[in-house]
Structure 1
Amino acid sequence: MKSYLLASFLILLHEVYAEDDFEESRIRRQVNSLPLVYPYGGTYKLVTGFSAPIPNSDNIPINFVVSFQYQYVQYANISELSRYYVIKEVSREERDADLVVRRDERLVFYQSAIDTLDSKGFNGEQCVYRALCEAAQHPVEDDGLFGEVIHILLTPDFGRTDFDEDPQWKEILEPYIDASVAGRQMYNCAFLYNKCPDGEGILEFISVLNEK
């Protein structure tokens, strides 16, 4: 009987320690690295884009350039990070909410491209759809770093799987995903999106398709 009670006590003690270790491990996962504060201010800037030469009969060097600039302001005061120190209040739900906010970043990129093309007199929406269709039809992810970047940007559902259930996300990006699916199924992209005629396609500005 004494042996049984001793064994039960040891098992219970082990479970208590295991639970404490799990709780400590969970809290450690929520602790981020110490932040850097820039009292005099600071800005991270990311500039990306592409340039393509425009052929002309006068042999004048003319380039078509499209660039996208992203700026991230650094923290200038530690008070801006006050919630950082409330470790136990950083819940899984808050982290999931942060992911939900970031899920629309690709949509922001597409809408920026549409607005830019519209301002230049193109049919921005149709040309973006056509670019997504053609990028899926002729993938370039194996063509070096630039090809990988183009593939990620022009693949609306990149990084997602069939197990990611998010009806709202699918509804928002549905026309973009449909364009990509049409390309994978080898539909005629120029015919589907004929309001973006030959010569005005986004990929035509930066690449030449060679049939092999």
Structure 2
Amino acid sequence: MKLFLIIVLNLLVNSFSQTNHSITKRSLLFPRATVLQFTYGISAPLILPRRSINLSMCLQVNYDLPYNITNFQPKIIQAKASGDFDLNREMFYKYIIRFLNSFGLNGEQCLYRLICEISEYPMHLEHAENLLEKIVHFVFTPSLEEPASNSSENFSSRLLQAENLGRDSGQCDKQYSKCFISLVSLFTSKYII
């Protein structure tokens, strides 16, 4: 009994002797600096003669969550504040040419051959359930988009000529023989398009 009394007295003395109480600040909504993050991505393997590469594209969106009732005021953010924000098809093709040149390929010839082969063996979009087929068809069919106002006529006409050559007569490998590799076969051997 003495032991029980000593333990109870010790607990009471300890609880009353601590006068330093701390209360953590509470939030009505979310703690400060709370972020909701979504990350979307797509990745496709590219198989080259002596390399294996994954081509990945990601999109990440962050939202600051409200920590105070005043945070519910709408914020208007202009997405296109500058005129250089858009990436037109011609600029995208020039990025592809530089990318292919960095691998030691003839980038321009390989791009024309790619467009020609996509046109020669078209995607069957009415039965397509594959997102990759739809993306490849849209990106590498230059006739789907009007040339930009600042587009060079010569480059645009060569792109359309490559597409027409594939659709009309084929033989893209002979016409664009400076490109020794078929880029279409790199991903169509893995994915049946």
TM-score using structure 1 length: 0.50
**One-letter amino acid of the counterpart of residue 202, structure 1:** L
Task: Describe the SS at the equivalent of 1:51.
Answer: strand
- Counterpart contact for 1:141–1:150, Cα < 8 Å: no
Structure 1 spans left out of the alignment, 5+ residues? 1-37, 56-61, 85-93
C-alpha displacement at 1:181, in angstroms?
2.3
> Does 1:171 pair with 2:153?
yes
Q: 1:149 aligns with which of 115, 130, 135?
A: 135
Q: 1:183 offset after TM fit, Å?
A: 1.6
Match of 1:102 among 81, 86, 106: 86
From 105, 110, 121, the counterpart of 2:104: 121
Identity %: 22
CA distance in 1, matches of 2:87, 2:147: 13
- What residue is the counterpart of 1:69 in the other structure? 57
Q: Residue in 1 aligned with 2:113?
A: 130
Give the greater-gyration-radius structure (CA): 2
1:189 to 164, 168, 172: 172
Tell me the distance in 1 between the aligned counterparts of 2:36 and 2:107: 34
Instruction: Tell me, yes or no, if the aligned pair for 1:45 and 1:72 is still in contact at 8 Å.
Output: yes
Measured at CA, do residues 201 and 165 of structure 1 come closer, stay the same or move farther in structure 2, by a change above 3 Å?
Answer: closer
Instruction: Give the secondary structure class of the aligned counterpart of 2:143.
Output: coil
The CA RMSD over aligned residues, in Å, is 4.2
How many correspondences in the alignment? 147
Secondary structure, counterpart of 2:101 in structure 1 = helix
Query: Which residues of structure 2 form unaligned runs of 5+?
Result: 1-31, 65-70
Higher relative contact order (CA 8 A, sep 6+): 2
> How far apart are the structure 2 equivalents of 1:130 and 1:74?
40
1:132 partner SS: helix
Change (3 A) 1:124 1:54: closer
TM-score by length of 2: 0.54
User: Given the superposition, is the C-alpha separation of residues 120 and 182 from structure 1 closer, same or farther in structure 2, using an over 3 Å criterion?
Assistant: same
Output aligned runs, 1:34-49, within 5 Å: 46-49=40-43
